[in-house]
Amino acid sequence: MGNIIASLDIGDNTIKLITAEISTNKFNILNVSEVPSKGLKDGLIINPEQLIGSLKEVFKKAEEVLGISVKKVIVNVPGNDARFISSEGLTTITNEDKVIKGVDIIRAMQASIYNRIPKNYEVANIIPMIFKINDDNPITNPINMNAETLTVKDVVAIVPKKNIYTLIKCLESIGITIIDVTLSSVGDYYLIKNDKINRSVGAIVNIGEATVNVSIFNKGVITNTEVINLGGQNIDNDISFIYKVTKKDAKNLKEKMALATNRMAKASETLTVTNKLGEEVKINQYELSEIVKSRLTEMLELIKKQINLLTKKEISYIIFTGGMTEIANFDILLDEVFGKNASVYVTQELGARDNRFSTGLGMIKYYNSKLELRDKNFSIFSNDELEDLSGKHKKINISENSLLGKIFGYFFDN
């Protein structure tokens, strides 16, 4: 059985809770719950009480499907004003056999941040680059190797405490334990990465409803990030203003009829809506897509400039993800603005085949990689809860022939 992990992706538009069993980077998704988010603006909490209401709702939805409560999650934190520190830590191997264990790796990483974190900041990620045994040649995973000392060189991502502490209080108030935190862009990277990307310098861009996260990665390590306060809601505002329709209708027009570029749009394809003045307005796809293209082009040009500001190194890849990349023909517009160097990621995990889930899925992979490095197994559920989930002590509505039925059978019959 693999590790069972839950991720909580908190965005301005929706909150997404994903529960999955992961083994050798393969997902068995047990549940995906999504609810509208409240109390957030530009990724930051402005109304804790409203956010708590949304959090209660998403955890309730998960429990209704799983039959048991999700009480432990890894959660993303805003990357606003994030900083990155290159650091090094050393520890002595103290066990009798002089064999490196997970606890030794943790101690070395803790040593790397000792007295290095500014007073008003907190650690979001510690990403190891290399390890050295007895100050010898670099290796990537020292677990179970003999050594007197272990040294780690890592990059530490830190964010203002205000980005984390209010969120922790909100989750603790409803009985949820945070097992880890991470930057959203680190989650995206762990979903997207492959051997080629791990050897290169590149950018990952997540375009959401309220913000754009632009992050630079150098051989698998995040080196810089910037949050741009633009997103899908700006397109909604443009459509709402031009056609005098509600924000809800504008969002629906964007998602149901608009294309990212009017090159493929048809003036003959129309939709009639009632505007805020009570008038019926016929909207055609060509004009609507022209509005969307104008704002998206502005955003993509701004992203291009931001990438140039974040790194002077030669970029090998630029990969786009996030909910806004799901709009039809986004890849065509991306090619017009960026050329062949940029591409759109396609999320393929069964049960979450949409780029709006990329961060949450990647967060699970990120945490799983930490468990592998420490040679640990983990589940958010206790043994009794796992028995409940398997149906040994209570009936849940899962057919033995369904996908979930087969998954649970694999969990508990082997």
Listed by start position, the domains of the chain span 1-71+352-414, 83-162, 194-345
- In this prediction, residue 402 carries a pLDDT of 35
Per-residue pLDDT at 257: 96
Residue 235's pLDDT band, with cuts at 50, 70 and 90, is: very high
On the question of pLDDT at 398 being above 70, the answer is: no
pLDDT surpasses 70 at 120: yes
Angle (CA) 364 368 372, round 5°: 175
Query: pLDDT tens digits, residue range 349-373?
Result: 988 999 999 999 999 999 999 998 8
Are domains 1-71+352-414 and 83-162 of this chain identical in fold? no
Task: Write down the pLDDT at residue 23.
Answer: 80
CATH class of the 194-345 domain in this structure: alpha beta
Asked if the model's pLDDT at residue 386 lies above 90, the reply is no
pLDDT value of position 313 = 94
Grade residue 411 by pLDDT with cuts at 50, 70 and 90.
very low
The topology (CATH level 3) of 1-71+352-414 is: Nucleotidyltransferase; domain 5 (3.30.420)
Identify the pLDDT of residue 404: 36
- Asked whether the CA dihedral 198, 181, 307, 239 is positive or negative, the reply is positive
Architecture of the domain delimited by 83-162: 2-Layer Sandwich (3.30)
Mean pLDDT calculated for residue range 245-256: 95
The confidence score (pLDDT) of residue 1 equals: 62
Q: How confident is the model at residue 390 (pLDDT cuts 50, 70, 90)?
A: low
Residue 31 or 406, more confident: 31
Comparing CA positions, the residue from 315, 377, 370 lying closest to residue 127 is 370
Span 311-320, mean pLDDT?
A: 96
pLDDT at 197 over 90: yes
Specify the range with the lowest mean pLDDT, choosing from 190-194, 265-269, 391-395. 391-395
Q: Whole-prediction pTM value?
A: 0.89
Q: What is the pLDDT of residue 374?
A: 86
Strand partners, 23: 26
Average pLDDT, the chain: 91
7-54 pLDDT tens trace: 999 998 999 999 999 987 688 999 999 999 999 988 889 999 999 999
pLDDT in tens, 45-101: 999 999 999 999 999 999 999 999 999 999 999 899 999 999 999 999 999 999 999
The pLDDT confidence band at residue 388, using thresholds 50, 70 and 90, is confident
